[in-house]
Chains A and B, each alone.
Chain A
Amino acid sequence: MNEHIVKAYEDELNTLTAECARMGGLTEAAVADALEAVVRRDQQMADSVVARDERLDALQADIERKAIRMIALRQPLANDLRRTVAAMKIANNLERVGDLGKNIAKRTIVIIDSDPMVPLTRSIERMGRLVVTRLKEVLDAYTASDLERAMSVWSRDDEVDEHYNSLFRELLTYMMGDPRTITACAHLLFVAKNLERIGDHATNIAEIIHYEITGDEAIATARPKTDALQRP
């Protein structure tokens, strides 16, 4: 291969990584803004999150197309193949995260309609910030190719679940205490569920990074299912 072709090939690989990182930034912003919309009861913010989702879908499609083209035409090997596949898989996860963010934003309108429930909103905010942080850390790990950082996100998978379980109980108590809150609480419950699933996607991305760097897929089965570990 002459130097020119090698250069272009390297460029294409870098482009995939860069586009994934940019898509990651947009996704992080979407989730953070959706959370803010719910917490601060900001309909305008919610609308903007919903409107921006199309961009994420387009980026995902674009990354997938480029990755497939790359695999078909360049037939990358070993490291390069894993980098390509990882970019494609991460974009898929990010696209799902974007959808979940949009779904959260869409519930704002109903939640604004009810009286503010301060302690509940605080709990949602706390859980949401944890999820946003995990997403940020795992994307930082991706752009820095930092296996250790990715694994530290992966191994703390259960923190979000704990928050979800606790929030679930809190919501039940609320609904039983005052039936007028049932509609809003049900929506908050879905918000929490969506946040939990965003957390799962962050864990998935950590696994993809692990595969990209080490070539080892085994980790997916080795996840410590902490619930069994932790319950007395």
Chain B
Amino acid sequence: MPQPPQSLPLRPRRGFVAQPVVLTGLAGGLALIALALASGAHLLLVLVLACALAAVTLVQARRARGEAGRLRAEVAQTHVEVADGALTLPYTSVLNALPDPVMVISAHEPDDLTGRRFVMVNRAGRRVLKIQREAGLLVTAIRDPDVLEVVDEALFGGLEGEAVYETGGVQERIFRAYARPLGASGDGARLALLVLHDETDIRRVERMRADFLANASHELRTPLASLSGFIETLRGHARGDEGARDRFLGIMHVQAERMSRLIDDLMSLSRIELNEHVRPLEDVDLVAALLDVVDALAPLARDKGVALEVETPPRGAVTITGDRDQVIQVAQNLVDNALKYSPAEGRIRILLQSDLSAEACVAPRMEPAARMSLLTPDHGPERFAALSVIDSGPGMDREHLPRLTERFYRVEGQKSGEKLGTGLGLAIVKHIVNRHRGGLAVESRPGHGAVFTAYFPLARTSAEVGGAPDEAPDDVIKLS
């Protein structure tokens, strides 16, 4: 057993034969940590660098001895030892615990595309980049040309670089990608480190603020102008006119309420959008949430003479992973619309089905009808609970369907809802459902009614969670 010098904070354990190259690497890791502590630099990044360096060093050492088969185990047994030696941790668990994706990339020649491989990627990296393997062709993990360029500069130019990396898709996330050179290995391979830092929140706040201001100022201007108009009239020639004053105050009251509804909806939309990429965690009893909404809206339906029919499994039978208040908001907005656009004596069916595939969720519930998916979840092997609200109102022409979830979009000529709506209800529904990784579909037959179906992934049972591929324990790093 080799004993590294006392001050080395990084040391390999168990049956490891010391080699100069190994010690250089380990010393490098030490030096980096020392440097970081001294300078107060970004400790996380430095820790990552140190770990990566240790891993790479091991790779080189083993490769030189042609024992690739045992590499995996050796790497897994490398430990990070902190300062006084009281605490040791397998470094792979350190990397895997990091919230930021981390990847080590190796390459040989600049013009050899298949030579660029990722030789290590931590758990966050596999999740964000949707890769199953821990080693493979670099372009199968990242295609973004800007990121590939900074990686190349780190590999072949020894330069540090940054690029913006956007994941795309319905749950778009924005990362800053940092590429750092790690030098060359014994067999001439060039090495680089890639760390992705999530900046989605910052970017979103920026965009939200701009959107909110633009929308709010645009939409509030009309009711505000009308309010000022009435005030002017009341101070001017309608001054002594009692009848006009009452009528005007009535209109002003309606406008003021509309403004406050607008502000509420806009605020609520902004809040939802802000953490749309953060999947909620609570268990929500979907049946109970739905029945609460139905109870709250029942008096309204009675006043209008609309019959509410509810078909659900018993309370407690359908559990989804969600945010209870937001799920309630979805049900409320959909039932609210159905009520608003239903004629008196209309009929609303509320249907909750559980354990469906994504395809079954968008299966027809009204026939014949035009139908369209307004939000499709990213592909994944999930089961869903689907909430359908089926009304017998005017429905809408097919051409309106793709635009329904747009902010402020209203179908013209539907007198019943015009004064009540803000045009934000379905936009809110869509963003909430997207946050829940669910989907939304609409069916409509003009003159006969509309169906809105929101579906949510079912909560996974604990047995399933343990077996899921991206949650599997993986302290062992595989190298190929």
Interface on A for B, CB 8 Å cutoff?
A: 11, 14-15, 17-19, 21-22, 24-26, 28-29, 32, 122-123, 126, 132-133, 136-137, 139-140, 143-144, 148-149, 152, 156, 159, 162-163, 165-166, 169-170, 230-232
Set A18, A25, A139, A169: member contacting B137, Cβ < 8 A: A18
B residues whose Cβ falls under 8 Å from a Cβ of A: 113-114, 130-132, 137, 139-140, 142-146, 148, 168-170, 368-373, 376, 379, 398-403, 406, 445
> Are B370 and A231 within 8 A (Cβ)?
yes
| Assembled-state Cα–Cα distance A197/B149 (Å) | 29
> When the two chains form the complex, which single residue of A24, A122, A156 contacts B406, counting CB atoms closer than 8 Å?
A122
Instruction: Name B359's closest neighbour in chain A (CB-CB).
Output: A155
Q: Do residues A232 and B369 form an inter-chain contact, with CB atoms below 8 A? A: yes
Q: When chains A and B are docked, how far (Å) is the Cα of A173 from the Cα of B320?
A: 43
Known: A140-B130, A232-B369. 8 other contacts (CB 8 A): A22-B145, A22-B148, A28-B168, A29-B144, A32-B168, A132-B168, A137-B169, A232-B445
Which A residues are in CB contact (< 8 Å) with B139? 18, 21-22, 25, 143
A-side contacts of B398, CB under 8 Å? 231
Known contacts being A133-B169, A232-B370, is A19 close to B113, with CB within 8 Å? Answer: yes
Cβ distance B391 to chain A, nearest Cβ, rounded Å: 17
Distance in angstroms between the alpha carbons of A18 and B398 in the assembled complex: 42
How long is the Cα–Cα vector from A26 to B144 in the complex, in angstroms? 7
Whether the pair A166, B402 counts as a contact (CB closer than 8 A) is: yes
A159 to chain B, nearest CB (A): 6
The answer to whether B145 and A26 have CB atoms under 8 Å apart is yes
* Contacting pair A166 B399 (CB below 8 A): yes
Measured CB to CB, the closest approach of chain A to B182, in angstroms, equals 22
16 contacts between A and B (CB under 8 A): A18-B114, A18-B139, A18-B140, A24-B143, A25-B139, A25-B144, A25-B145, A28-B168, A29-B145, A144-B132, A149-B379, A162-B402, A163-B402, A165-B399, A166-B399, A166-B403
Closest B residue to A150 by beta carbon equals B379
Least Cβ–Cβ distance between A231 and chain B, in angstroms: 7
Chain A nearest CB from B156 CB (Å) reads: 16
Q: A17-B137, A123-B403, A162-B401 are in contact. Are A22 and B113 (CB under 8 A)?
A: yes
Q: Say yes or no: B373 contacts A159, CB within 8 Å.
A: yes
Q: Considering only CB atoms, which chain B residue lies closest to A135 in the complex?
A: B168
Q: Does A25 lie within 8 Å of B148, measured CB to CB?
A: yes
